[in-house]
Amino acid sequence: MNYKIIDMEKYYRRGVFRHFSRDCKCSISMTETLDVTELAAYSKQTGRKFYINFLYLLAKTLNSREDYRMSYLWETQQVIVYDKINPTQYIFHEDTETCAPVYTEYQADYGQFYAACKEDIAQAKKSAEYGLDMEHHPNWFDASYISWLSYESMHVELPDGYLYFLPIVNWGRYHKRHGRLIMPVTVRLNHAAADGYLLAKVFLLLQEQLAGFVRSWAAESVTL
């Protein structure tokens, strides 16, 4: 776990940061629907899990900009940027109707991430213990799949804005609309670390990652 300390006097959003961390402490969240038709087709054709494929692209997107890798050190009151952030995902135990966290380290290599994530999920299913350990996983962002329905809006609130900068992401079931598969995705960011542009940019970058991933798969299929 490596990070760099942000020089707040040179930080390009220092004015916005100062206002939304002192005067108007708040977070911002947005729900958007993404077209996952091709990703679902790829997952079905290759026999790989759509859930893990999407989680990989989400982690890749959030690692692509320093703005999404920010955090706050309470001990020293410093704002930092991690070299890498990893997804804390969750599995649902039907028998107890409770969730358990699953820690999977992000790896840029898709194959390595997929294999590691699949194994992490299998291990987590063996225990119903909640086991959340934020102390030893400070550079991990929350990624939750709401599998029971496809929703239109969702809000994740933290008290008084709270100096928690890492993204909180939720997504629901995809559904068919006009012949396409559409999936709701919700992103929460701290307003001190992100404005409307940076929030919207998550979705734009994620849609680009979805398209690029599918294009690579299509090219490989033609080659094979």
Here the CATH number for the domain that contains residue 89 is: 3.30.559.10
Query: C-alpha dihedral over 91, 92, 93, 98, to 10 degrees?
Result: 110
Question: How many independent structural domains does the chain possess?
Answer: 1
Q: Which residues pair with 182 in a beta bridge?
A: 35, 175
Residues above pLDDT 90, as percent of the chain: 81
Please answer whether residues 167 and 29 qualify as being in contact, where contact means their C-beta atoms are separated by less than 8 angstroms.
no
Task: Choose between 163 and 179: higher pLDDT.
Answer: 179
What are the residues whose beta carbons fall under 8 Å from the beta carbon of 32, sequence distance 6 or more? 184, 185, 203
Instruction: Name the 3-class secondary structure at 64.
Output: coil
For residue range 130-161, list pLDDT tens digits in order: 777 888 899 999 999 999 999 999 988 887 77
Please write the tens of the pLDDT for every residue from 5-59.
999 999 999 999 999 999 999 999 999 999 999 999 999 999 999 999 999 999 9
Tokens encoding 17? 């940061």
How far is residue 184 from each of residues 79, 121, 147, measured CA to CA in Å? 31, 23, 11
| Cα 187–chain centre separation | 8
CA-CA distance, 106 to 58, in Å (whole number)? 10
Global pTM?
A: 0.94
Q: How far is CA 193 from the centre of its chain?
A: 16
* Enclosing domain of residue 129: 3-223
